[in-house]
Structure 1
Amino acid sequence: MSTASESRGGDAPTRAVVVDDSRFMRTLIRKLLEDGGVEVVGEAEDGSVALDAVIEHDPDVVTMDIEMPSMNGIEAVERIMADHPTPVLMLSAHAEADADVTFEALDRGAVDFVKKPGGEVTSSMPKVRHELVEKVESAAKVDLSASARASASASTATTSRTASTETSRSTASTTSPSPSGSASRSPTRDSAAKPSSGDTRTGARSGAMRQPDAAGASGRTYADVGTLLVGASTGGPKIVEQLIAGLPRDANLRILVVQHMPEGFTSRFATRLDERSEYDFGEAESGERIGPGEGRVAPGGRHLLVTGDRGDRLRLELTETEQIHGVRPAIDLTMASAAESAAQPLCAVLLTGMGRDGVDGMQRIARAGGHTIAQDEATSAIFGMPRRAIETGCVDAVESAGDVAETALRYFTEEE
């Protein structure tokens, strides 16, 4: 599906509708966008009238406030996506307070979010304008039909994995004795708790294999330890969540996720990954070491580096050096450092997003002997980063959103 701006001509300015209950904020956002070359074609003071404004003006993108009387931003997103699908960019005022509701808006169909401008005019306003305009321009390029295909692809893959797992477990229960003991559990988990990463046996760095236990019963053997790197930008959070949810704990991975996301939201994103997967996820901390069964998300505003790999544990460092490709954290830096410091097996995945962050990192992973996967065009909200990586010739596999996890696992397993 082509975007509205493409149908009007590639040189036409991006057209936006601004939704906010504050007249002052609508005026400020309009000025920031128009100063950045975006044409504001309409406004709405409440979520209840946002759909009317969208239908009337047929914009390329909608900027949406979260907290509004009568109808909030989440409900407005649902109505727009149901009746007149248009890319919606959420404006979130307070990182900690709005993180949960912002991610809920993404679940309902919003394509991205950005921190809402403050009411005061300060010396940082040019930076605020740049970030807002960049996010609006990026959101306007999102292919909503690709996002729908990504969800369908993930749903199909999940159904297939579930059926396969149930079959394997049924077979294992009739051929394998019950384990005499149970794996240790994290004290913060309930009855569906995840095994602690401390239960993983240390293996040789050559990629020695071990048999999964009957409870896992995947029909595969896995390397004692492996490293998976995931990079994503616009349209990425839902795809990352689907990918991580498709990885079994007995694959023994150390997982690093770099999602372009503002400071204050990455902690909540890490919590969502922890809740939706068999891996213990958190926001990365400088100086920590993580082992098999653990994952970390690069914090917003800081680069994440791998500085060592000893005893099956990756050592992580955070830096606040200059932005790369206009972003921090940068996918390139994490992948490049892992290519230098992390032992094989190693796999890097580059998902949806605009620009070229991650392209150099994917090339470095390939040169180091690791494997690389790019999301395909059909399921990428924005095919910018994956396309540029594919064009370099360094990509081993191009997969739909729902197939990325399965393909990645092949690089860490040996079929029996």
Structure 2
Amino acid sequence: MIRALIVDDSSLVRRLLTEILEQADDIEVVGTAHDPYDAREKIKQLNPDVLTLDIEMPRMDGITFLRNLMRLRPMPVVMVSTLTAEGAQETIEALSLGAIDFVCKPRMDIAHGLESYAEEIVAKVRAAARAKVGRSDQRAGKPRPQHPVAKIGSSKVIAIGASTGGTVAIQQVLEEMPQTAPPILITQHMPPGFSAAFAQRLDGICEASVCEAKDGQRILPGHVYIAPGGEKHLELTRDGSRYSCRLRAGELVKRHRPSVEVLFDSMASVAGRHGIGVLLTGMGTDGAEALGRMRAAGAHTIAQDEASSVVWGMPGAAVKAGAAERVLPIGSIAGAIIQAASAASTSSGER
């Protein structure tokens, strides 16, 4: 049984989340807290497995509490964020501090809004209970690995897919990529508005230029293109020698839009052997089958290993299906991408 503690200053939200979570046979809400100080005492008394944590609270905000929690008593946390630009930036910061995932609550009609996300909330609390959590001070300050300089193949294109735990994993990979890296397309499961904040954050800390992808945007080396959250699928297209982004409206694929499956399938058909596919931590199976089609088309394919994944759902499904030619810890993936993209690794036949 998963023991959950709900931390929110709204009595309505506390009641709604309690009702939603207790509909699941394997989740018990052991308590609620109206602010971080109350939560601190309830954590000591009740020893919960998972915390749901509001961002905007009196006396101490959720970000400050999360930072202290992850330093002193790390545990799985699912953030409860508002669907606003400010809420998106705070949520991205919370994920970087160690929160496992987040759910959104609307500013209006909260009761209906949260109930419509009931299945997602339950799934994310379950995933958080299984997730790996480390101290925030253990994650910070690690020196970047120095990868050998290699001649990068100009025709290569990289596609990365991720979900739960992916924002931190993607950052770890991109921080190690040189400015001369091939273009990178990314699908990370996010709601509308959050991908722009994610791209802005990455752009400030990575050598490559990072932006939210636009329809028809030309794809260039040294640039990273992130699929707009919750709106359209991101695909790779080609006109002669030029690659471009295509944003396409459509049904949910593998229960997601944007879907990693859609991105990887476009990579298989458009880039073929010039593609590099990377599937990182995430809940579910999105991207696993299409990574196999990328590999069949001649692309290099990489999956994150179980030990370094927050949730080994998507990469695990790819590994079990034989879609990944290499299974690596997150700290080795950037180097493997650079190796696969270099002219030397292509000519040496290391596949």
TM-score normalized by the length of structure 2: 0.90
- The residue number in structure 1 matching 2:171 is 241
SS at match of 2:152: strand
Q: Aligned residue for 1:16?
A: 4
Return the alpha-carbon distance in structure 2 between the equivalents of residues 360 and 303 of structure 1: 20
Q: Compute the displacement of 1:236 (Å).
A: 1.0
**For 1:16-42, what per-residue CA distance to the aligned partner results, in whole angstroms no more than 9, with x for missing partners?**
111011212211221222234432111
Aligned to 2:160: 230
Q: Report 1:236-275 matches (<5 A).
A: 236-251=166-181, 253-275=182-204
CA apart distance, 1:339: 0.8
2:85 is the counterpart of 1:155:
no
- Structure 1 residues 294-313: aligned runs within 5 Å: 294-310=223-239, 312-313=241-242
Counterpart of 1:404 (choices 333, 343, 349) is 333
Rounded to whole Å, the distance in 2 between the matches of 1:140 and 1:335 is 29
Three-state SS of the structure 1 residue aligned to 2:246 is: strand
Q: Which residue is equivalent to 1:81?
A: 70
Decide whether the 8 Å contact of 2:173 with 2:331 is kept in 1.
yes
TM-superposed deviation, 1:330? 1.0
Q: Distance in 2 between matches of 1:281 and 1:53?
A: 41
Q: Select 1:143's aligned residue among 132, 140, 157.
A: 132
CA distance in 1: counterparts of 2:63 and 2:274, whole angstroms? 42
Q: What's the CA shift string for 1:269-316, capped at 9, x where partnerless?
A: 111222222222211122322222222111111343435223543222
Tell me the SS of whatever aligns to 1:139: helix
Correspondence for 2:60: 71
Measure, in 1, the Cα distance between the counterparts of 2:198 and 2:208: 14
2:307 aligns to what SS in structure 1? helix
SS of equivalent to 1:317: strand
Cα gap change, 1:149 to 1:240, in 2 (>3 Å): farther
Alignment of 1:231-380 (within 5 A): 231-251=161-181, 253-310=182-239, 312-342=241-271, 344-380=273-309
Instruction: Note the C-alpha offset of 1:121.
Output: 6.3
Deviation of residue 231 (structure 1)?
0.7
Contact 2:236–2:263 (8 Å) recurs in 1: no
Q: d(CA) in 2 for partners of 1:265 and 1:307?
A: 22
> 1:242-271 CA deviation, whole Å, 9 max, x = no partner?
1011111223x1111111111110011111
Matched residues in 2 for 1:78 and 1:126: separation? 29
Q: CA offset at residue 108 of structure 1?
A: 2.0
Correspondent of 2:19 among 17, 24, 31: 31
Partners of 2:4 and 2:310 in 1: CA distance: 19
Contact 2:160 2:185 in 1 (8 A): yes
- Displacement of 1:87 in angstroms is 0.5
8 Å CA contact retained: 1:283, 1:296: yes
Q: 2:94 aligns with which of 105, 108, 114?
A: 105
Equivalent residues of 1:339, 1:368 under 8 A apart: yes
Map of 2:79 onto structure 1: 90
Q: CA deviation at 1:320?
A: 3.0
State the distance in 1 between where 2:15 and 2:218 align.
Answer: 47
1:149 and 1:225, CA in 2 relative to 1: closer, same or farther beyond 3 A?
farther
CA contact (8 A) 1:229 1:255 kept: yes
Using the alignment, how far apart are the partners of 1:384 and 1:149 within structure 2? 26
Q: CA deviation at 1:84?
A: 2.7
Query: How large is the Cα RMSD of the aligned pairs?
Result: 2.4
Q: Which amino acid aligns with 1:290?
A: I
> Is 1:51–1:79's contact at 8 Å kept on the other side of the alignment?
no
- Structure 1 length normalisation: TM-score? 0.77
CA contact (8 A) 2:291 2:324 kept: yes
Partners in 2 of 1:401 and 1:150 — Cα distance? 15
Matched position secondary structure for 1:81: helix
Aligned length: 344
CA distance in 2: counterparts of 1:118 and 1:16, whole angstroms: 24
Residues 36 and 325 from structure 1, CA distance in 2 versus in 1: closer, same or farther, beyond 3 angstroms?
farther
> Partners of 1:257 and 1:279 in 2: how far apart?
13
Residue 268 of structure 2 aligns to a residue whose secondary structure is helix
The corresponding residue for 2:47 is: 58
Alpha carbons 1:362, 1:372 under 8 Å: kept:
yes
Aligned residue for 1:387, secondary structure, equals helix
* 1:360 aligned partner, one-letter code: E
Pair member with larger Rg: 1
- SS of residue paired to 1:42: strand
User: Any unmatched runs of 5+ in structure 1?
Assistant: 1-11, 166-217
Question: Could you tell me how far apart the structure 2 residues matched to 1:68 and 1:121 are?
Answer: 16
Structure 1 residues 407 and 22: alpha-carbon distance in aligned structure 2, compared to 1, 3 A threshold: same
| Greater than 6 Å deviation, 4+ residue runs | 147-150
The CA distance in 2 between the partners of 1:117 and 1:31, in whole Å, is: 18
Tell me: CA distance 1:311–1:244, structure 2 relative to 1, closer, same or farther (3 Å).
Answer: farther
CA distance in 2, matches of 1:148, 1:107: 9
Rate the CA distance shift 1:382–1:374 in 2: closer, same or farther, 3 A.
same
Percent identity of equivalent pairs = 37
